[in-house]
Amino acid sequence: MNVAEKLKILANAAKYDASCSSSGSARVGKDGFGSAAMAGICHSWSADGRCISLLKVLMSNSCVYDCAYCVNRASANPPRATFTPEELASLVVEFYRRNYIEGLFLSSGVCRSPDYTMELMIKTLELLRNDYRFYGYIHLKVIPGASPELISRAGLLADRLSVNIELPSRESLKLLAPQKERAGLVRPMRNIKALKLQNADEKKHFKSAPTFAPAGQTTQMIVGATGESDLDILRLSKGLYSSFDMKRVYFSAYLPVSTSPLLPGREKPIELRREHRLYQADWLMRFYKFDAEEILDRAGSSNLDPALDPKCAWALRHPEFFPVEVNTADYEMLLRVPGVGVKSALRIVRARRLASLGADDLRKMGVVMKRAQYFLTARGKYAGAVAPDSPFLREMLSERRDMAQLSLFGDASAPALPSGITLSDSTALAMCELAAPVEW
Amino acid sequence: MLHIYDGTFDGVLCAVFDVFALRDEDAEILPADRYSGASLYYTREVNADPSHADRVGNMLERFRPGTLRRLYTAWLSHDEHVEEYILAAVRCAVAHKADPFAFRQYHAIFELDRLATLVGNEAHRMLQFVRFVKLRSRVYAADIRPEYDVLPLIGAHFHSRFRDVAFMIRDLTHLRAILSNPREWYIAPLPAENPPLDADGEYETLWKLYFDNIAIAERRNPKLQQHFVPQKYRSFVAEFRDGADARR
């Protein structure tokens, strides 16, 4: 089998991995070539609108596991292929030299055993780093069950490591991936966190010590294959962020890739909007200082409102905080105003030191008054047509136009929803703009 | 007074310096190539002294590192009002002893920041969309057609990334090119006619194969794709050049 055929099979098998981010690392080297940009750089966007930053392929799509939701499960019959480390390393280098990619995202099916697969992947990374003197970005998916020694070696070669949590609950995992156990997926995450702490300590004593996974670790889960609520999912991601210092938790809307009776059938539309709302909620937790329990409180629904972005929904549930006076409110409160984003909140805080701001000034700060008008006052003036606690406000802020597109979901020409498959932090800003058109 | 500068960024900073030194309340700054030779103003040529430019630059950097680069980025737009905005920004910085970009409520600052964003965003797009082909001479070459003159903003990135080879990036809009070798990089003018680069054979084909296979068909979303890769750039991005849809 030639490289082109392998590339076709192994790219197809890797496309369901959500992450393609190349951010978080500023690797440089004197010899060799390549570099990593802290904010990450996307190089292209495929027909589904997801960014292509890294060459995202599997080492092998052979797998000993039989997870119901996976295209590469042992009982399925796709064409199988395995790269040799030499083939893959040379492909990465040639693509990189032409500025097609920022580096490599390497994952794999479990070929023979977790350790055997990890060895093969590490061999590829060693070729790139040591023989080619390649300093580009490498994201390595850790194979659950691989020995801690291999994880430790991998972390010194890669910029980012990740282990997929796969499904939002222990029970779902048991049902759909009976050979995997939650504990087995969490163990490598714990290993990575411990190794990173240990490495940080070593670096205090030896400045030249190589950094272990400088861009940290991430994880991903499938949403919509099983019955968990959005609140369950947000609580889980909050736990993942705090317990394992995750850089990102990715969500991937379930796509029917098998006919297993345990899974929703093909007639169920892909829940792109739900994925989008979850990413908005994730942004609120990471950049807007919201807590999972605030975004969805116990009293209300345990699922995000498809018609309303989660920040608006929170503001509508809490009219007691509004309107906020922009000239005196603290930064944290400004961040909670719908229509005010991180950038515009920072601009307001800087600009108001000079002179008090009126509604026109706010527009120049990038505030989207369409939404913000109902939740703030500028120099004491309230510009909204109705009060923050008005029963009509929900209707006025709903994304009705987009809701109409919901009916097109089955259609291949589906609506312009961000896939949420990000990206770098700079593109994260761009995504954020899409994720919440109000923000700036 | 109308201050005519030599068309360089240092020149515009010198012009600003002169405006302050002469206490010129009613100043206008123009590059020599936009000066028609006739003006009702009293006209003078700016004294190009690098130390003057440094003094203006250092003053701005003291308030907030990065301000000078942002000013430079905005200046690269060569917008017809950019000198006016730059002068207003420096006046604002001096008056408030603060980073001028903090005061977006002022029209001139808002416009200057907007220009810097336009140029800066396009420069970032070039980091994304430059596509090299490997020539027979083992030199890597790429063509781009940006709207703004972004070469000065992207040279350092590519030079440090591909530090072990020689490469060239031709800007066919402004007829200038980045030339880089392991020792240094610089920008040189191009002739009016430039022969097209050859296609890159094997690896370009493999890349297109990858590009077509990494998309999830069920999530097809051309509108989102277009948001990130506007039509105006597609003519020089290998995987879009001959119509990604045509290959499907």
Are A73 and A25 a contacting pair, CB within 8 Å?
no
* Residue in chain B nearest A420 by alpha carbon: B224
Q: What is the pLDDT of residue B175?
A: 97
Q: Residue B131: is its pLDDT beyond 70?
A: yes
3-state percent breakdown (helix, strand, coil) of chain A, nearest 5: 40, 10, 50
- Nearest C-alpha of chain B: how many angstroms from A88? 12
> Does any CB of chain B come closer than 8 Å to the CB of residue A46?
yes
As a whole number, the mean pLDDT across chain A is 88
Q: What is the pLDDT of residue B161?
A: 96
Query: Strand, coil or helix: what is A347?
Result: helix
Residues in chain B, total: 248
**Residue where one domain finishes, among candidates B122, B149, B167:** B122
Interchain pair B203, A95: CB under 8 A: yes
Note whether B42 and B113 are same-domain residues: yes
Q: What is the pLDDT of residue A260?
A: 83
pLDDT in tens, A93-127: 999 999 999 999 999 999 999 999 999 999 999 99
Interchain pair B229, A418: CB under 8 A: no
The domain in which residue B173 lies consists of: 130-189
| Paired residues of B133 in beta bridges | B141
Query: In this structure, is residue B12 part of a structural domain?
Result: yes
Residues of chain A with CATH 3.20.20: 3-268
Q: Sort strands A324-325 and A54-58 into parallel, antiparallel or unpaired.
A: unpaired
Note whether B32 and B108 are same-domain residues: yes
Query: Strand, coil or helix: what is B144?
Result: strand
Tell which wins on pLDDT, A207 or A278: A278
pLDDT in tens, A356-367: 999 999 999 999
**CA–CA distance, A221 with A295 (Å, rounded to integer):** 19
> Does any CB of chain B come closer than 8 Å to the CB of residue A434?
yes
**CA–CA distance, A200 with A117 (Å, rounded to integer):** 28
**CA–CA distance, A258 with B167 (Å, rounded to integer):** 47
Other CB atoms within 10 Å distance of the CB of residue A404: 10
Please, which pLDDT band fits residue A391 given cuts at 50, 70 and 90?
A: confident
pLDDT in tens, B101-115: 999 999 999 999 999
| Token representation of residue A178 | 């009976």
Query: In this structure, is residue B196 part of a structural domain?
Result: no
Q: Which one, of B240, B56, B239, B225, lies nearest residue A419 by Cα?
A: B225
CA A412 to chain centre: 24
Surface of B (175-204) touching A: CB under 8 A: 200, 203-204
Please, which pLDDT band fits residue B82 given cuts at 50, 70 and 90?
A: very high
Surface of B (20-59) touching A: CB under 8 A: none
Note whether B87 and B137 are same-domain residues: no
For B178-192, the DSSP string reads EEE-SS-EEEEE--S
| Paired residues of B39 in beta bridges | none
Note whether B28 and B118 are same-domain residues: yes
Interchain pair A272, B219: CB under 8 A: yes
Query: In this structure, is residue B195 part of a structural domain?
Result: no
**CA–CA distance, A373 with A28 (Å, rounded to integer):** 46
**CA–CA distance, A48 with A50 (Å, rounded to integer):** 6
Interchain pair A364, B103: CB under 8 A: no
Size of interface A-B (CB pairs under 8 A): 167
Note whether B14 and B116 are same-domain residues: yes
Phi and psi at residue A250, in whole multiples of 5°?
A: -95, 145
* HSE-CB of A38 using CA atoms within 13 angstroms: 0
- Nearest C-alpha of chain A: how many angstroms from B49? 33
Of B104, B200, B218, the CB nearest to A98: B200
Of B124, B206, B215, the CB nearest to A46: B215
pLDDT in tens, B18-44: 999 999 999 999 999 988 877 777 899
Other CB atoms within 10 Å distance of the CB of residue A379: 12
**CA–CA distance, A438 with A340 (Å, rounded to integer):** 7
**CA–CA distance, A415 with B22 (Å, rounded to integer):** 59
For A81-149, the DSSP string reads -B--HHHHHHHHHHHHHTTS-SEEEEE----S-HHHHHHHHHHHHHIIIIIS-B-SEEEEEPPTT--HH
pLDDT in tens, A195-244: 999 999 999 998 888 899 999 999 999 999 999 999 999 999 999 999 99
Of B103, B110, B207, the CB nearest to A100: B207
Q: What is the CA radius of gyration of chain A?
A: 23
Q: What is the pLDDT of residue B39?
A: 76
Interchain pair A416, B105: CB under 8 A: no
Query: In this structure, is residue B65 part of a structural domain?
Result: yes
- Nearest C-alpha of chain B: how many angstroms from A121? 20
For residue A423, say if its preceding peptide bond is cis, omega within 30 degrees of 0. Answer: yes
Query: Strand, coil or helix: what is A350?
Result: helix
Q: Residue A421: is its pLDDT beyond 60?
A: no
Interchain pair A43, B128: CB under 8 A: yes
Angle at A399 between CA B221 and CA A362, to 5 degrees: 105
Q: What is the pLDDT of residue B243?
A: 66
Q: Which one, of A39, A56, A425, A25, lies nearest residue A213 by Cα?
A: A25
Other CB atoms within 10 Å distance of the CB of residue A410: 10
Mean pLDDT value across residues B5-26? 95
Which residue is associated with the tokens 């999972």?
A292
Q: What is the pLDDT of residue B201?
A: 84
- Nearest C-alpha of chain B: how many angstroms from A114? 25
Query: What percentage of residues in chain B have a pLDDT greater than 70?
Result: 98
Surface of B (97-126) touching A: CB under 8 A: 98, 102-105, 110, 124
Q: Residue A13: is its pLDDT beyond 50?
A: yes
Q: Which of B138, B203, B228, B231 to mutate to test the interface with A (most CBs of A within 10 A)?
A: B228
Q: For the complex shown, is ipTM > 0.90?
A: yes
Query: In this structure, is residue B194 part of a structural domain?
Result: no
> Does any CB of chain B come closer than 8 Å to the CB of residue A272?
yes
Instruction: Report the b/e string of A157-182 with b at 16+ CB within 10 A.
Output: bbbbbbbbbbbbbeebbeebbeebeb
Tell which wins on pLDDT, A194 or A403: A194
Question: A3-268, which class in CATH?
Answer: alpha beta
Q: Sort strands A381-382 and A376-378 into parallel, antiparallel or unpaired.
A: antiparallel
Q: Where does residue B24 rank: exposed (0-12), middle (13-18), buried (19+ CB within 10 A)? A: middle
Q: Which of A44, A268, A367 to mutate to test the interface with B (most CBs of B within 10 A)?
A: A44
A3 neighbourhood in chain B, CB within 8 Å = 206
> Does any CB of chain B come closer than 8 Å to the CB of residue A299?
no
**Residue where one domain finishes, among candidates B83, B103, B122:** B122
| Token representation of residue B31 | 């590059």
Interchain pair B215, A50: CB under 8 A: yes
- Nearest C-alpha of chain B: how many angstroms from A134? 10
A430 neighbourhood in chain B, CB within 8 Å = 228
Interchain pair B221, A417: CB under 8 A: yes
Note whether B23 and B94 are same-domain residues: yes
> Does any CB of chain B come closer than 8 Å to the CB of residue A426?
yes
Tell which wins on pLDDT, B100 or A257: B100
Note whether B112 and B14 are same-domain residues: yes
Query: In this structure, is residue B207 part of a structural domain?
Result: yes
pLDDT in tens, A259-269: 888 888 877 88
User: What's the 3-state SS for A267-323?
Assistant: CCCCCHHHHHHHHHHHHHHHHCCCCHHHHCCCCCCCCCCCCCCHHHHHHHHCHHHCC
Note whether B183 and B145 are same-domain residues: yes
Q: What is the CA radius of gyration of chain B?
A: 22
> Does any CB of chain B come closer than 8 Å to the CB of residue A355?
yes
Note whether B79 and B161 are same-domain residues: no
Give how many domains chain B has, as a whole number: 3
B127 neighbourhood in chain A, CB within 8 Å = 37, 41
Mean pLDDT value across residues A39-49? 95
Surface of A (232-261) touching B: CB under 8 A: 255
| Token representation of residue B128 | 């994304």
Please, what is the angle between helix A182-205 and helix A148-157, to 10°? Answer: 50
- Nearest C-alpha of chain A: how many angstroms from B94? 14
